[in-house]
C-alpha cells in the first residue's frame, strides 16, 4: 500500500537568525510512510554529522525493511508492538552504533549526538519513536497536542514539581538532555502507536521551534496555513525566525487526507457476524 496516496507532507530546515550552521536534519518518504527529524549536538560540526548519519541510516533501513514485511500492521506477540514499531526501534539502534563508530574515528567529535523523532504511518495507524527533546505534535479536532514527552532535565524537573510549564520556558538550562542518540552504548527509545484519523495534522519539530513559539502560537500558524503542510512549514519557520530565531529550526508537517487501512475482508466479515 502506498501511504503517499493518503497522507501529504512537507518539511523545512533553516539555520535560524543567529547561527551560521545547521545541525538539524530531516527526511520524509510517504511512499514508505516515514517522517524523520533529528537535532544534532557536539563541537567541530559534530552535530551536523550526527543528525545526518541518524537520518540517513534510519531512512535506508526503513525503506529496505518496511517493504519486505509480510503483513502490514501485524503485532508481535512477544512485545505487543507492531513489526513497524520494532523496525523503528531497530533503525534507531543501528543509527546509534553508526554515530558512535564515526565518533571513535574522529576524537574531535567524540561527544557528538542527536535527538531523533521517527514516525511511520501504516494501516490507519502510526508509530512514533523518539529520543531527546525534538517533538511530535498532533492537531486533531482543532486541538494541538504534544504527543512525545521530552527527555530533558527540565521535563524531569517539571514532572517532579520543581517548575511549572511556564517557569520552565524561561529556565536557563532547558537544553540539557537526559537522553540522546549516539552518546551511550545502549539507547532507551520511547515508542508508541496511535490510531490515525482523516484530517489529522502531524508536526515534527526541533526545539528551535518549540523554544521560540508557545504551543498556542504554533497552533495559530497551523490554522493560518489552512492546515496545509507546504504553507504550514513556511509559516512555522518564519514564525520562529520572527521571534528571534536563536537556534536552527526544522519542521515536518503531514496531513492525513483519507483512510489507509489494509483490506482485511475475511476479518471484517467475522467481526460483522460477531457484532450483528
Ligand atoms: Ca536545536
* pLDDT tens track for 101-159: 999 998 888 889 999 999 999 999 999 999 999 999 999 999 999 999 999 988 988 88
pTM: 0.93
Region of 197 please: left (phi>0), alpha (psi -120 to 50) or beta. beta
DSSP letter assigned to residue 75: B
Query: Which sign does the torsion angle of CA 33, 38, 44, 45 carry?
Result: positive
| Ligand 1 centroid – CA 47 distance (Å) | 10
For ligand 1, the distance from its centroid to the CA atom of residue 184, given in whole angstroms, is: 20
CA 17 to ligand 1 centroid distance, Å? 13
DSSP 146-164: E-S---BHHHHHHHTTSS-
* pLDDT tens digits along 18-44: 999 999 999 999 999 999 999 999 988
Instruction: For 42-91, write each residue's pLDDT tens digit.
Output: 988 899 999 999 999 999 999 999 999 999 999 999 999 999 999 999 99
Amino acid at each position: 500500500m502506498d501511504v503517499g496516496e493518503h497522507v501529504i507532507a512537507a518539511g523545512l530546515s533553516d539555520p535560524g537568525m543567529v547561527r551560521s550552521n545547521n545541525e538539524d536534519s530531516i527526511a520524509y518518504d510517504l511512499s514508505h510512510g516515514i517522517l524523520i527529524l533529528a537535532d544534532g549536538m557536539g563541537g567541530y560540526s559534530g552535530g551536523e554529522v550526527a543528525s545526518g548519519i541518524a537520518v540517513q541510516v534510519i531512512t535506508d533501513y526503513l525503506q529496505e525493511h518496511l517493504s519486505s514485511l509480510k503483513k502490514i500492521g501485524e503485532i508481535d506477540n512477544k512485545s505487543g508492538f507492531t513489526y513497524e514499531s520494532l523496525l523503528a526501534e531497530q533503525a534507531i539502534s543501528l543509527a546509534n552504533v553508526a554515530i558512535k563508530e564515526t565518533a571513535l574515528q574522529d576524537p574531535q567529535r567524540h561527544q557528538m549526538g542527536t535527538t531523533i523523532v521517527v514516525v511511520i504511518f501504516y494501516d490507519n495507524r502510526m508509530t512514533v519513536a523518539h529520543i531527546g527533546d525534538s517533538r511530535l505534535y498532533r492537531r486533531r479536532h482543532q486541538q494541538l497536542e504534544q504527543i512525545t514527552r521530552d527527555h530533558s532535565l527540565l521535563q524531569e524537573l517539571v514532572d517532579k514539581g520543581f517548575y511549572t510549564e511556564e517557569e520552565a520556558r524561561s529556565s536557563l538550562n532547558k537544553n540539557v538532555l537526559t537522553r540522546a542518540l549516539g552518546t551511550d552504548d545502549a539507547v532507551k527509545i520511547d515508542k508508541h502507536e496511535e490510531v490515525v484519523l482523516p484530517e489529522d495534522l502531524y508536526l515534527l519539530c526541533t526545539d528551535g521551534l518549540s523554544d521560540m513559539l508557545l504551543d498556542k502560537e504554533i497552533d495559530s500558524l497551523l490554522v493560518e496555513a489552512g492546515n496545509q503542510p507546504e504553507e504550514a512549514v513556511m509559516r512555522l519557520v518564519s514564525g520562529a525566525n520572527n521571534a528571534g530565531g536563536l537556534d536552527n529550526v526544522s519542521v515536518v508537517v503531514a496531513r492525513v487526507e483519507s483512510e489507509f487501512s489494509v483490506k482485511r475482508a475475511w476479518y471484517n466479515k467475522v467481526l460483522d457476524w460477531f457484532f450483528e
